């Protein structure tokens, strides 16, 4: 399952980050790394952006970037 498929109100744990180069670096710079727990706060009506809470910080991530984050 990817972060894009996670439901609102669900807490998920990151198992893998796909992608390479700048995309991977941008995701990791937000604090989304392997083993971290993410709480999905809100998803915009069309699915973009997705608002998350990661390590106590509130973030917005694009739908395309959320597809790169594999969670359980």
Q: Residue range 15-25: average pLDDT?
A: 90
Architecture per CATH, domain 3-71, reads as Roll (2.30)
Q: Give tens-digit pLDDT for 22-31.
A: 989 999 999 9
Q: Which two tokens stand for residue 50?
A: 């997705």
Bridge partners of 43, per DSSP, are: 50
Q: Interior CA angle at 21 toward 17 and 24, to 5°?
A: 25
Q: Interior CA angle at 56 toward 20 and 28, to 5°?
A: 10
Put the strands of the sheet holding 37-43 in their side by side order: 57-61, 50-54, 37-43, 11-17, 69-71
Q: Residue range 50-66: average pLDDT?
A: 92
pLDDT of residue 45: 85
pTM across the whole model: 0.87
Rounded to whole angstroms, how far apart are CA atoms 34 and 31? 10
Percent of the chain whose pLDDT exceeds 90: 72
pLDDT of residue 8: 93
Average pLDDT for the chain: 91
């Amino acid at each position: 399952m990817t972060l894009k498929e996670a439901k609102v109100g669900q807490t998920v744990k990151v198992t893998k980050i796909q992608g390479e180069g700048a995309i991977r670096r941008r995701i990791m710079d937000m604090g989304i790394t392997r083993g971290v727990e993410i709480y999905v706060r809100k998803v915009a009506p069309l699915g973009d952006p997705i608002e998350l809470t990661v390590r106590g910080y509130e973030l917005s991530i694009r739908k395309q970037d959320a597809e790169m984050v594999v969670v359980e």
